[in-house]
């Protein structure tokens, strides 16, 4: 499968703390990649570096073969318009209605008329399973699950090639989290989206992610969930050894899924 984003030889150091040390990662077109790792292992810093929100100590990021690091700001902004990002907790503008939150980037970056923007906004609302009347509400009037869906609609508004999700199911009850996972899987399938999600949610890993990149020893080890569960690496074993992980492994019946007992 074609590589759409490549991270090469990435080093991130804050003072004396080295978070990434020669990290390589390939994101393949049209896959759902889960990024996992223990608390403080550097998942957010990795995501922020790929998104251009953190300047790395050294290393390169490529998008469709073009090196982003060192690219002119305007050129970079043009390329990144093809990326949708859903930050943790939604990060909606609290003073704007749902409609205006979703239309924000459209107004800024597209040449659509206000009527066309509204129409596209309503299409995105429907895509994420929300009814049209939600458009008139404000973030404070929404449930946690609805906020996530609005944030997802906003991330999809410019028709991205790549969708980045930071802890998409955090704070949701198990039923809402499962529904959200299903929504992501459906959108991935219908829109042929490449999806990159940082998550602690083992259900999401099991049900949505086709490949998993785990941060260990300041670098990435990647594979399918089955491959990582079979890994002899002590930190990977430790990450997946909790009772919750064991329960998920028992509940799921993938072909060839090994057990770690």
Ligand X SMILES: Nc1ncnc2c1ncn2[C@@H]1O[C@H](COP(=O)(O)OP(=O)(O)OP(=O)(O)O)[C@@H](O)[C@H]1O
Residues found near ligand X in the complex (CB under 6 A): 14, 19, 37, 39-45
Find all residues with CB under 8 Å of 140, minimum gap 6, and list them.
Answer: 94
Give 100 or 222: the residue with its C-beta nearer to ligand X.
Answer: 222
Structure tokens at 118: 């509204």
CA distance 88 to 192: 23
For the bound state, the minimum distance from the C-beta of residue 54 to ligand X, rounded and expressed in Å, comes to: 7
Please give the helix or strand (H or E) that residue 242 lies within, else none.
Answer: none
As a 3-state breakdown, the chain gives helix, strand, coil percent values, each rounded to 5, of: 40, 25, 35
Structure tokens at 96: 């704007």
Give 53 or 123: the residue with its C-beta nearer to ligand X.
Answer: 53
For the bound state, the minimum distance from the C-beta of residue 166 to ligand X, rounded and expressed in Å, comes to: 9
For the bound state, the minimum distance from the C-beta of residue 205 to ligand X, rounded and expressed in Å, comes to: 14
For the bound state, the minimum distance from the C-beta of residue 235 to ligand X, rounded and expressed in Å, comes to: 13
b/e 185-198 (16+ beta carbons within 10 angstroms → b): bebbeebebbbbbb
Give 153 or 168: the residue with its C-beta nearer to ligand X.
Answer: 168
For the bound state, the minimum distance from the C-beta of residue 36 to ligand X, rounded and expressed in Å, comes to: 9
Q: Angle at Cα 209 formed by Cα 76 and Cα 24, nearest 5°?
A: 50
Give 40 or 234: the residue with its C-beta nearer to ligand X.
Answer: 40
Give 42 or 84: the residue with its C-beta nearer to ligand X.
Answer: 42
> Which residue in this structure is represented by tokens 């009772």?
243
For the bound state, the minimum distance from the C-beta of residue 118 to ligand X, rounded and expressed in Å, comes to: 36
For the bound state, the minimum distance from the C-beta of residue 19 to ligand X, rounded and expressed in Å, comes to: 4
| Nearest alpha carbon to residue 187 among 260, 86, 97, 58 | 86
Give 46 or 147: the residue with its C-beta nearer to ligand X.
Answer: 46
Q: Is the dihedral of CA 210, 56, 104, 140 positive or negative?
A: positive
Structure tokens at 178: 């499962």
Give 99 or 164: the residue with its C-beta nearer to ligand X.
Answer: 164
Structure tokens at 23: 């990290």
């Amino acid at each position: 499968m074609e590589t759409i984003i490549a991270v090469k030889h990435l080093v991130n150091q804050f003072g004396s703390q080295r978070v990434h040390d020669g990290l390589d990662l390939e994101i393949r077109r049209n896959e759902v990649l889960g990024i996992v790792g223990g608390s403080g292992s550097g998942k957010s810093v990795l995501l922020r570096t790929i998104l251009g929100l953190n300047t790395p100590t050294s290393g390169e990021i490529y998008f469709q073969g073009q090196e982003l690091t060192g690219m002119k700001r305007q050129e970079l902004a043009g390329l990144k318009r093809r990326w949708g990002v859903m930050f943790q907790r939604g990060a909606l503008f609290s003073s704007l209605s749902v409609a205006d939150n979703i239309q924000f980037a459209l107004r800024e970056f597209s040449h659509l008329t206000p009527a066309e923007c509204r129409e596209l906004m309503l299409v995105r609302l429907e895509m994420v399973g929300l009814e049209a009347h939600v458009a008139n509400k404000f973030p404070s009037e929404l449930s946690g699950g609805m906020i996530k869906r609005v944030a997802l609609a906003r991330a999809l508004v410019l028709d991205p090639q790549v969708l980045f999700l930071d802890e998409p199911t955090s704070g949701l009850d198990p039923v809402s989290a499962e529904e959200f996972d299903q929504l992501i899987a459906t959108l991935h399938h219908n829109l042929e989206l490449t999806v990159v999600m940082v998550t602690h949610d083992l259900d999401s890993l099991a049900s949505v992610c086709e490949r998993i990149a785990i941060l260990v020893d300041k670098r990435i080890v990647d594979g399918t969930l089955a491959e990582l569960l079979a890994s002899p690496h002590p930190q990977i074993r430790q990450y997946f050894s909790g009772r919750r992980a064991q329960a998920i492994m028992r509940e799921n019946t993938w072909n060839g899924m090994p057990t770690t007992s």
